[in-house]
Chains A and B, each alone.
Chain A
Amino acid sequence: METATAAAPALAVADLALSYDGSSPVLEGVSFSLPAGSSLCVLGPNGGGKTTLFRALTGELTPLRGRVDIDGRPAYLAQTERTRLDFPVSALDVALMGSLANGRWWLPARRSDRAAARGALARVGLEDRAEVRFGELSGGQRQRVLLARALVQDARVLLLDEPLAGIDPASRERIEALFRELRDEGRTLLVSTHDVDSARGFDRVVCLNQRQVAFGEPATALSRDALEQTYGDEIVVLDDEADGTFRAVTVQHHHH
């Protein structure tokens, strides 16, 4: 029985259809499963359904069809420009919010909760920034504070919304190293992005454009055909090599 538990996926999604009005789906045909300790890149254009999928995984959105099986309660890490930067909380306060997941949110934080929050900040390399206001940290540091909150929450599955958008290369390397550490501990990471190049570093990729276009290892899922179906006219393929490898960049069309 031990082996059966170990083999159980950390996250399984079967024929999922999601809708905001209860009738017309905005995302459908999503089916994939992930072993514990793996990473998934959720790739797609803006409006392709990345955030909608995350909302279903956190339980905020009830599926129209299909099902979601997930190991424990996933942590959700918003883009830090979307979290309130003028909010009067320190890095430690934010990390400490993770302890609210213990279900006793009406009680004050315990000493052990504070110790856990400080420990988590140390793990992300921010112990000396504990008292700094969240909004005064750099973008990369804020993302690491949200990772610390997820560590205090002890989430087995982490959902990260464009965590590397607008972050300088040094911070990026640091965060990617943390991602590897978290995976080595058996945590499962789902990272949404619209950046095709960064998708190649993940164990799996799922391409979404109102439906699941492709799922699998980057080498197979990121086919030219799949990318064109995912991005439509927003994609430009560069360096089309004879051996089948290629580079692609997306062009963001802004409709105002």
Chain B
Amino acid sequence: MILDYIRAVTLLAALPSPGDLVELPFMRTALIELTLLGVVGGLLGAWIVLRRLAFFAHAVGTATFPGLVVADATGFSATLAGLAVALGYAGGVERAGRATPADGGGDHGDVATALALVVALALGVVLASDVFESGAAVDRLLFGTALGLGGADLLVASGAAALALVATLLLGRAWTAVAFDGRGAGALGLPLRVADLLLLGLIAVAAVAALPAVGALLVASLFVVPAATARLLSRSVVGLLTISVGVAIAQGAVGLYVSLWLDVPPGPAVAVVGSSLYALVTLTRAALGGMTAPLPIAEAS
């Protein structure tokens, strides 16, 4: 009883002040980084969810892992190595997806994606443990870091945020039409291949921008989870984009705080916060189900 009390007090005493997030310089950098990535992940996540590319988004991050291990061991730029692997991977998936009909869904090579995922993780682990003996670096590469972020990372994240914003403004209408009804959109004269290629390429670039903060394994925590939560709450594409960005930024800040408190890398902390929010929204919706479910209009006219 007394021991429990002491344990609780100790844990609470270790609770950092939320002000630390802006006052500690390295935390401030991490907060800005995660906010920028929230914009990227929130916007692109909405398109990922609508186009059913969640698995691809997860895989493209993981696929960079062996590249990052090599870059880390040889001193080569991790961003360039990640970018080369991610773009190559996106190009391969686009080629595989083209063989399937434009039914609006298209599986974008799910089997190939799963295979690439396994190979990338296995290759990365073998390279890290037997070839380069990377040791502690593996944790950072897989789960990200709040400590080592610098100006270059912020610059890359800003670039990715700007790209995501411009692409959403210019391509949003086309992406919506293609995701809604692929063949109908093709008949409207929309360049389906270009639209797909740009989306896959942009996801690859954005995933690489997110690597330093959340790591190769948890890219989906930024690019899928917030949009999936927003999808449950939105009735329009604009609403989806707005809520998705809001959720992504909020889970980034809360996740960073949790990571500071429990001394874990930001990747898992953000992932846990984001997934908990998704679960909470799903459960709340299920509990209110009878009241909030849209009533189908079944009249004959």
A interface residues (Cβ-Cβ under 8 A, vs B): 55, 58-60, 73-78, 82-84, 87-90, 93-94, 97-98, 100-101, 103, 105-106, 108-109, 125, 129, 132-133, 136-138, 140-141, 146, 149, 153, 155, 159, 168, 170-171, 174
Q: Which residues of A contact B190 (CB under 8 A)?
A: 100, 105
Q: Is the CB of A100 within 8 A of B237?
A: no
Which A-chain residue is minimally distant from B170 (CB atoms)?
Answer: A106
Q: Is the CB of A58 within 8 A of B236?
A: no
Which B-chain residue is minimally distant from A126 (CB atoms)?
Answer: B301
Q: How far is the CA of A87 from the CA of B240 in the complex (A)?
A: 11
B190 nearest CB across to chain A (Å): 6
B50 within 8 A of partner (CB): yes
> What are 10 A-B contacts with C-beta separation under 8 Å?
A75-B187, A77-B184, A78-B183, A88-B235, A88-B237, A105-B190, A106-B174, A125-B301, A129-B297, A171-B301
Interface residues in B175-198 (C-beta closer than 8 Å to A): 176-177, 179-181, 183-190
A124 nearest CB across to chain B (Å): 11
Q: Which residues of A contact B188 (CB under 8 A)?
A: 73, 75, 97-98, 100-101, 153
- Which residue, A83, A90, A97, A129, has most C-beta atoms of chain B within 10 A? A97
- Which residue, A100, A101, A105, A140, has most C-beta atoms of chain B within 10 A? A105
> Beyond A83-B180, A87-B50, A87-B179, is A93–B237 a contact (Cβ under 8 Å)?
yes
> Beyond A83-B180, A106-B170, is A88–B104 a contact (Cβ under 8 Å)?
no
Contacts beyond the supplied A138-B301, A146-B184: 17 A-B pairs with Cβ under 8 Å: A58-B183, A59-B186, A76-B183, A76-B184, A77-B184, A82-B104, A84-B180, A88-B234, A89-B237, A90-B236, A93-B176, A100-B190, A103-B189, A133-B235, A136-B295, A137-B297, A159-B187
Q: Is the CB of A138 within 8 A of B300?
A: yes
Q: Is the CB of A168 within 8 A of B300?
A: yes
Q: Which residues of A contact B237 (CB under 8 A)?
A: 88-89, 93
B294 within 8 A of partner (CB): yes
Which A-chain residue is minimally distant from B294 (CB atoms)?
Answer: A136
Q: How far is the CA of A155 from the CA of B185 in the complex (A)?
A: 13
Q: Is the CB of A100 within 8 A of B174?
A: yes
B19 within 8 A of partner (CB): no
Q: Is the CB of A78 within 8 A of B181?
A: yes
Q: Is the CB of A94 within 8 A of B180?
A: yes
Interface residues in B158-185 (C-beta closer than 8 Å to A): 170-171, 173-174, 176-177, 179-181, 183-185
Which A-chain residue is minimally distant from B49 (CB atoms)?
Answer: A88
Q: How far is the CA of A170 from the CA of B298 in the complex (A)?
A: 12
Interface residues in B279-298 (C-beta closer than 8 Å to A): 294-298
Q: Which residues of A contact B173 (CB under 8 A)?
A: 97, 100, 105-106, 108-109
**Of B101, B102, B104, B299, the contact of A138 (CB 8 Å cutoff):** B299
Which B-chain residue is minimally distant from A97 (CB atoms)?
Answer: B177
- Which residue, A83, A125, A155, has most C-beta atoms of chain B within 10 A? A83
Q: Which residues of B contact A170 (CB under 8 A)?
A: 300-301
Q: How far is the CA of A152 from the CA of B267 in the complex (A)?
A: 46
Q: How far is the CA of A138 from the CA of B180 in the complex (A)?
A: 17
B103 within 8 A of partner (CB): yes
B18 within 8 A of partner (CB): no
**Of A58, A125, A141, the contact of B187 (CB 8 Å cutoff):** A58
B16 within 8 A of partner (CB): no
Q: How far is the CA of A98 from the CA of B180 in the complex (A)?
A: 13
Q: Is the CB of A60 within 8 A of B102?
A: yes
Which A-chain residue is minimally distant from B295 (CB atoms)?
Answer: A136
Q: How far is the CA of A132 from the CA of B297 in the complex (A)?
A: 9
B289 nearest CB across to chain A (Å): 15
Q: Which residues of A contact B184 (CB under 8 A)?
A: 75-78, 83, 97, 146, 149
Q: How far is the CA of A185 from the CA of B235 in the complex (A)?
A: 36
B239 within 8 A of partner (CB): yes
Q: Which residues of A contact B236 (CB under 8 A)?
A: 88-90, 93
Q: Is the CB of A138 within 8 A of B297?
A: yes
B211 nearest CB across to chain A (Å): 30
Q: How far is the CA of A77 from the CA of B183 in the complex (A)?
A: 9
Q: Is the CB of A171 within 8 A of B300?
A: yes
Q: Is the CB of A138 within 8 A of B171?
A: no
Which A-chain residue is minimally distant from B298 (CB atoms)?
Answer: A138
Q: Which residues of B contact A82 (CB under 8 A)?
A: 103-104
Q: Which residues of A contact B231 (CB under 8 A)?
A: 88
Q: Which residues of B contact A101 (CB under 8 A)?
A: 188-189
The 7 A-B residue pairs with the shortest CB-CB distance in the complex, in nearest-first order: A76-B187, A170-B300, A101-B188, A58-B187, A106-B170, A97-B177, A105-B174
Q: Which residues of B contact A84 (CB under 8 A)?
A: 104, 179-181
